[in-house]
């Protein structure tokens, strides 16, 4: 009786393994792809080495302006003006306050996912902005008051974006619900607001807030410029959020709405317990997309004379002792923006994974 | 008023209301701080240094007003404004005085409900030329190539000037001022033209500032000065005479270093009147009699401020030319304080 003996598997032919094979398979499988690979390599070769030379190898990292001999970036400018890029005109002795806010925010954002108790969550959401505001602006608990005119740099960029994101979200959700409401007046108002705001550029709203509004309030009432800008940005963002959330609401099958009614839930109960959690979950990618674009749009506040981090480049470059460092400034700001936006998109991915209930 | 507001609401912004805001002087004294509108960064005029302190010729003017009114140059709150916002900020009462390198023109003076208190810097369009072409006067620029920003008044002024002098130029046109300067840096043209104060700043940005010179000719008028709201004459006077006091101090040779000595020992009646040991100009203006003393003591006279911020002691090194005193070949002419 013949017995079956297992044969040792032979190793793959040498032509089908190893780095050479991988290169051949992925980069040079045919003439067209090979040409494209070579072209890609050429582009990388012509961009990356000069960039690295400029940014790192030939750069000047320390010393004074007179000692600059290298042809690359003069990062001494960024080092000299670093505090202004970060905090604007915020008094140096009080820099610990925005720093503390930054730490609290990071801790808050990362621990939020792990808080299970809903009441603690809501308390956190409500308390967090108050704590941050008190710390930054001062005036309570013996903290020295720092007027909004002194806020600037990255601190202001993040602050404007954060307020825009946090405040616009509930307004946007309410607008989205209003737009789908059965009450004709409410629905018309919501549609009117959303379509009006989406029909004008952010820059118009900011100009309106900074140039036109003060003329209405000129007698005695002083309306802070930053506050005006924040209100403008929040309303603007709310209209976009509303449309994103509406998309989510419409994607929920009608059966879910009917089921919540069949259970005897009121409108709000049904919305909060059944519809919104599902609708918001599927809206996360779009929501984050619009938050990221808001973060970048905040830089428009420079046209109304607020010094966000980009405006700081112009301002620091008009210091007669430091003229002609725009390129370094812009490159630095670009990197900051990239880091911030990339972090936001990574954070959103982690939230999506957490809420993923599909199997 | 209501009609104007409605008009504004519906976008008819041409009808800018005249908002008089009487009593600015009292307001400033009551609040103990001067709200001064400055730029968001014009080298030498108003810009922040590495410590976040505002510096510049216009900033010094704000400080002078604070010294005269409040006796303390540090009691200024700076409001950085863009070119578009500046007049609204003043009209709406957000700021008390605008010191933002603003050109005095008839249209602005007449239609915005504002008053120009005077001129603290006579600017004008000039020429920055590369040293290699060996030209020392604009009159020798016949046939030169210019880097020009398209569609600006600078271009029109240039054309006018060359026509009037029977000369010709070749133009290389760019869209933005940055590109224009780049063109000059890369040697695509022999000369650039813009406001002199700007050219001085641009010259510093060249790889070798010594390779270019600023020609002495000025071909257009750009008088820059502080602006206040119309209809508040007491405040207008304070601003105007603060400006004159700084120039008068230079004319009389009073500076921040010798002002105490002058106050004690000078027998010159003009100095005595300026510093308030005789006469009562300060009281008449609604200020203390030592108002001008405080200005000179805390900020300095016009020459000190000019040299430090834009002139020979600053990196941008702008010649005083028109901004010299009237008796030294310029047109800075302070009205007599007596």
Q: Which among A71, A78, A323, A328 is the top mutation candidate for probing chain B, defined by the most B β-carbons within 10 Å of its own β-carbon?
A: A323
How far does A129 lie from chain B, in Å, by closest CA?
A: 27
* Cα B213 to Cα B165, B248, B264, distances in angstroms: 21, 31, 45
For chain B, 338 residues long, give each residue's pLDDT as a single digit of tens.
Answer: 344 444 444 433 433 444 444 689 999 999 999 999 998 888 899 999 888 899 999 999 999 999 999 999 999 999 988 887 889 889 888 899 999 988 898 988 999 999 999 999 999 888 999 888 888 888 888 889 998 877 667 788 888 899 999 999 998 888 766 678 778 888 889 999 888 887 887 787 777 888 888 888 888 888 999 999 999 999 999 999 999 999 999 999 999 999 999 999 999 999 999 999 998 999 999 999 999 999 999 999 999 999 999 989 998 888 888 899 999 999 999 999 98
CB B18, CB B228: distance < 8 Å: no
B80 touches chain A (CB under 8 A): yes
B8 touches chain A (CB under 8 A): yes
Separation of CA A288 from chain center: 8
Average pLDDT estimate for A32-40: 92
The SS3 of residue B310 is coil
Residues of chain A contacting B185 with CB distance shorter than 8 Å: none
**Residue whose token pair is 């808050």:** A108
CB B124, CB B323: distance < 8 Å: no
Q: List, in sequence order, the alpha helices (H) in chain B.
A: 2-9, 24-31, 57-70, 86-91, 106-111, 153-164, 177-185, 196-205, 233-251, 259-265, 269-275, 281-285, 291-298, 302-309
Whole-number pLDDT of residue B4 = 44
Query: In whole numbers, what is the pLDDT of chain A averaged over residues?
Result: 87
The SS3 of residue B37 is strand
Phi and psi for B70 in degrees, rounded to 5? -110, -5
Whole-number pLDDT of residue B177 = 67
pLDDT bin (cut points 50, 70, 90) of residue A325 is confident
CA distance A249 to A279: 5
CA distance A322 to A316: 7
Nearest CA among B115, B269, B121 for reference residue B198 = B121
For A42-83, the pLDDT digits (tens) are: 999 999 999 999 888 888 888 787 777 778 888 988 988 899
B27 touches chain A (CB under 8 A): no
Which of A92, A218, A315 is closest, CB to CB, to B92? A218
Phi and psi for A289 in degrees, rounded to 5? -55, -45
Whole-number pLDDT of residue B263 = 93
CA distance B229 to B24: 9
Whether the per-residue pLDDT at A7 is higher than 80: the answer is: yes
Whole-number pLDDT of residue A359 = 56
CA distance B266 to B256: 15
Separation of CA A206 from chain center: 19
Q: pTM (2 decimals)?
A: 0.82
CB B224, CB B123: distance < 8 Å: yes
Whole-number pLDDT of residue A218 = 58
Interchain proximity B85–A311, CB inside 8 Å: no
Surface-to-core class of residue A259, CB atoms within 10 Å of its CB (0-12 exposed, 13-18 middle, 19+ buried): middle
> For B27, which residue in chain A has the nearest alpha carbon?
A220
Locate A166 and state its tokens: 């946090």
Whole-number pLDDT of residue B16 = 42
Q: List, in sequence order, the alpha helices (H) in B98-232.
A: 106-111, 153-164, 177-185, 196-205
Which of B41, B81, B92 is closest, CB to CB, to A318? B41
Whole-number pLDDT of residue B208 = 81
Q: Which among A320, A326, A329, A330 is the top mutation candidate for probing chain B, defined by the most B β-carbons within 10 Å of its own β-carbon?
A: A320
How far does B237 lie from chain A, in Å, by closest CA?
A: 23
Angle at CA of residue A46, ends A45 and A51, nearest 5°: 95
Average pLDDT estimate for A179-205: 92
Surface-to-core class of residue A100, CB atoms within 10 Å of its CB (0-12 exposed, 13-18 middle, 19+ buried): middle
**What are the residues facing B47 on neighbouring strands?**
B55
Whether the per-residue pLDDT at A289 is higher than 70: the answer is: yes
Which of A149, A210, A315 is closest, CB to CB, to B47? A315
Whole-number pLDDT of residue A69 = 74
Nearest CA among A300, A309, A307 for reference residue A338 = A309
Locate A121 and state its tokens: 């969550």
CB B81, CB B65: distance < 8 Å: no
Interchain proximity B201–A320, CB inside 8 Å: yes
What is the 3 state secondary structure string of A25-36? HHCCCCHHHHHH
For chain A, how big is the Rg over CA atoms in Å? Answer: 27
Contacts of A267 (CB under 8 A, 6+ apart): none
How far does A118 lie from chain B, in Å, by closest CA?
A: 44
Whether the per-residue pLDDT at A1 is higher than 70: the answer is: no
Contacts of A152 (CB under 8 A, 6+ apart): A84, A87, A88, A89, A90, A306, A307, A308, A311, A312
Whole-number pLDDT of residue A318 = 85
Interchain proximity B21–A88, CB inside 8 Å: no
B51 touches chain A (CB under 8 A): yes
pLDDT bin (cut points 50, 70, 90) of residue A18 is confident
Interchain proximity A307–B40, CB inside 8 Å: yes
Ranked by mean pLDDT, the top range of A10-14, A203-207, B195-199, B254-258 is B254-258
User: How are beta strands B191-195 and B145-149 bridged, if at all?
Assistant: parallel
The Cβ of residue B150 has, within 10 Å, a number of other Cβ atoms equal to 11
CA distance A140 to A12: 73
Nearest CA among A39, A146, A163 for reference residue A97 = A146
ipTM: 0.77
Nearest CA among B177, B159, B178, B157 for reference residue B168 = B159
Interchain proximity A320–B314, CB inside 8 Å: yes
Percentage of the residues of chain A whose pLDDT score is greater than 70 = 97
Locate A289 and state its tokens: 């997309």
Which of B55, B84, B314 is closest, CB to CB, to A211? B84
């Amino acid at each position: 009786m013949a017995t079956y003996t297992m044969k040792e598997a032979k190793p793959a032919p040498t032509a089908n393994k190893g780095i050479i094979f991988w290169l051949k398979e992925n980069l040079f499988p045919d003439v067209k792809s090979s040409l494209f690979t070579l072209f890609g390599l050429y582009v990388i070769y012509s961009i990356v080495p000069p960039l690295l030379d400029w940014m790192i190898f030939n750069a000047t990292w320390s010393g004074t302006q007179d000692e600059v001999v290298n042809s690359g970036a003069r990062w001494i400018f960024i080092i000299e003006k670093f505090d202004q890029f970060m905090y604007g005109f915020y008094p140096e002795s009080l820099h610990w306050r925005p720093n503390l806010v930054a730490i609290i925010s990071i801790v808050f954002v990362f621990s939020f996912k792990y808080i299970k108790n809903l009441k603690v969550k809501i308390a956190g959401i409500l308390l967090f902005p108050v704590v941050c505001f008190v710390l930054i602006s001062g005036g309570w608990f013996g903290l020295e008051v720092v007027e909004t005119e002194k806020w600037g740099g990255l601190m202001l960029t993040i602050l404007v974006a954060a307020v825009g994101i946090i405040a616009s979200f509930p307004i946007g959700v309410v607008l989205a619900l209003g737009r789908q409401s059965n009450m004709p007046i409410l629905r018309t108002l919501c549609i009117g607001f959303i379509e009006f705001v989406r029909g004008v550029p952010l820059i118009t709203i900011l100009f309106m807030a900074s140039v036109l509004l003060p003329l209405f309030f000129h007698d005695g009432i002083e309306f802070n410029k930053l506050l005006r800008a924040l209100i403008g940005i929040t309303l603007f963002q709310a209209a976009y959020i509303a449309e994103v959330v509406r998309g989510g609401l419409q994607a929920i099958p009608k059966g879910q709405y009917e089921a919540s009614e069949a259970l005897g839930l009121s409108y709000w109960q049904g919305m909060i317990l059944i519809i919104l959690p599902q609708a918001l979950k599927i809206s996360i990618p779009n929501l984050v997309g619009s938050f990221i674009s808001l973060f970048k749009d905040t830089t428009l506040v420079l046209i109304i004379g607020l010094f966000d981090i980009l405006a700081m480049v112009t301002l620091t470059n008009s210091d007669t002792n430091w003229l002609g460092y725009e390129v370094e400034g812009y490159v630095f700001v670009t990197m900051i923006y990239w880091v911030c936006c990339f972090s936001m998109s990574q954070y959103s991915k982690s939230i999506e994974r957490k809420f993923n209930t599909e199997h | 008023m209501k009609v104007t507001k409605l008009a504004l609401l519906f976008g008819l912004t041409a009808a800018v209301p005249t908002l008089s805001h009487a009593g600015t002087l009292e307001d400033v004294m009551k609040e103990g701080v001067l709200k001064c509108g400055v730029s968001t960064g014009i080298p030498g005029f108003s810009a922040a240094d590495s410590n976040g302190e505002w510096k510049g010729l216009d900033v010094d003017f704000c400080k002078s007003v604070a010294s005269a009114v409040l006796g303390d140059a540090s009691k200024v709150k700076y409001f950085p404004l863009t070119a578009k916002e500046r007049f609204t900020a003043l009209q709406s009462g957000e700021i008390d005085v605008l010191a933002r390198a603003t050109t005095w023109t008839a249209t602005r003076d007449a239609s915005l409900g504002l008053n120009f208190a005077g001129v603290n810097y006579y600017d004008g369009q000039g020429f920055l030329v590369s040293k290699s072409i060996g030209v020392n006067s604009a009159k020798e620029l016949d046939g030169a190539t210019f880097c020009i920003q398209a569609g600006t008044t600078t271009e029109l002024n240039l054309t006018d000037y060359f026509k009037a002098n029977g000369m010709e130029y070749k133009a290389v046109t760019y869209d933005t001022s940055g590109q224009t300067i780049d063109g000059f840096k890369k040697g695509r043209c022999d000369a650039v033209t813009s406001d002199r104060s700007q050219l001085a700043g641009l010259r510093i940005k060249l790889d070798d500032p010594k390779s270019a010179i600023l020609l002495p000719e000025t071909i257009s008028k750009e008088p820059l000065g502080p602006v206040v709201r119309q209809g508040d004459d007491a405040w207008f006077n304070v601003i105007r005479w603060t400006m004159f006091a700084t120039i008068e101090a230079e004319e009389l040779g009073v500076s921040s270093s010798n002002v105490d000595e002058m106050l004690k020992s000078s027998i010159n009646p003009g100095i005595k009147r300026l510093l308030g040991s005789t006469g009562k100009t300060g009281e008449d203006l609604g200020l203390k009699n030592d108002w001008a003393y405080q200005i000179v003591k805390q900020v300095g006279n016009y020459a000190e401020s000019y040299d430090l911020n834009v002139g020979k002691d600053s990196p941008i090194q702008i010649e005083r030319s028109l901004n010299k005193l009237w008796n030294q070949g310029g047109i800075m002419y302070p009205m007599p304080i007596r």
